[in-house]
Amino acid sequence: MSLLEFARGPAIHAALIIMAAGIALRIIGVLALTRGADLSRPRDAFGNFKGYRTVFSRAWPSGEFTTTTRYQTVVAYIFHIATLLVVVGIVPHIEFITSLTGLAWPALPNFVGVALGTVALASLIALITRRLAKPAVYNSTVGDYVTWIIVALPLLTGLMAFAHVGLRYETMLALHILSSALLFAYMPFSKLMHAFWFIFSRAQSGLAYAHKGVRI
């Protein structure tokens, strides 16, 4: 079995199983915990439901915090959107998803894919640069840097494989798939789980404050 065969076969499949099982374990394990009831009388009877809007409203920081959050918010949005489009939009990725699920959709032109991948990697570098430049603001941990590396590797190796830079194409492709497998397997152990938590976390706080008549 070549490195590429290993990456395309057992490695990526094992990683996907770890990811799916890990995400399920972590989410169900947390949500199954008891919920403390708030017995105090709400400010107005149906006001609590207004709290759910925090799930959406928090997608962009309040104007009050514009100066301190602008860079982080804008760059993070660019990163997330570009990465998501690359993950589901280019031909080899769609072919892989089709092989797993049977689903297929039209792909983006190659040059768009490369451009988006480059934007994603550049924005990721812009984020780590600021993290390194302002240590007091970010309070980074080892986990933050490990996560950054694990997210950056598939982008870097993917772009290199596509551009035929570095090692032999088959090796670069194998490294790309292996680094993606690492990302999948790492997800349930890391802060990448925020992809799911944000909905619950925002809703909880929105409800807790709406209960008191405060819009957050």
Partner 1 sequence: MSTANTTAATATPIFPSFEQVYQGLAGQIGMLREMAPQPTKSDEKRLQGAVETLIEETNADEAVWLESCIHCGQCTNACHYFQATGEAKYAPMRKMDLYRRVYQREISPMRWWHRLITQPVKLSDFEQAKELIYDSCSECGRCTMVCPMGIDTASLVHHMRSAMVAAELVPPELAALRMEQKQMGTVFGSSPDSLRKMVETIREKAGIEVPLDKEQAEVMVLSSAVDLVANGNGLLATAKIMNHLGVDWTICSDGFESANFGLLSGDMSLWKKQVDPIIAAAQRVQAKILVIAECGHAYPALRWNPMLSSGGLPFEMMYMSEFLGKQAKAGNLHLTPFDGKVTFHDPCKTGRRGGAFDEPRAVLAAMDADLVEMPANKEYNWCCGGGAGIFLLEDATRLRDESFKIKIREVNESGAESVVVSCASCRLNFESGRQKNHWDKQVHSLVELVADHLIEDESTANAQARGAVA
Which residues contribute to the site for partner 1 (CB under 8 A)? 22, 25-26, 28-41, 43, 54, 58, 61-62, 64-65, 68-69, 72-73, 76, 131, 134-141, 144, 188-189, 191, 193-194, 197-198, 200-202, 204-206, 208-209, 211-216
Write down the least CB distance from residue 81 to partner 1, Å.
15
Write down the least CB distance from residue 55 to partner 1, Å.
8
Residue with tokens 């490195």: 3
Write down the least CB distance from residue 121 to partner 1, Å.
19
Write down the least CB distance from residue 72 to partner 1, Å.
6
Identify which of residues 176 and 202 has a Cβ nearer to partner 1 in the complex: 202
Write down the least CB distance from residue 84 to partner 1, Å.
17
Helices (H), the chain: 3-6, 12-31, 54-57, 66-89, 91-101, 110-133, 135-138, 142-162, 169-186, 194-210
Identify which of residues 158 and 188 has a Cβ nearer to partner 1 in the complex: 188
Identify which of residues 144 and 170 has a Cβ nearer to partner 1 in the complex: 144
Q: How far is CA 94 from the centre of its chain?
A: 19
Identify which of residues 164 and 215 has a Cβ nearer to partner 1 in the complex: 215
Q: Is 102 left (phi over 0), alpha (psi -120 to 50) or beta?
A: left
**Contact (CB, 8 A) for 51 and 206:** yes
Token pair for 150: 């694990």
User: What are residue 166's phi and psi, to 5 degrees?
Assistant: 85, -135
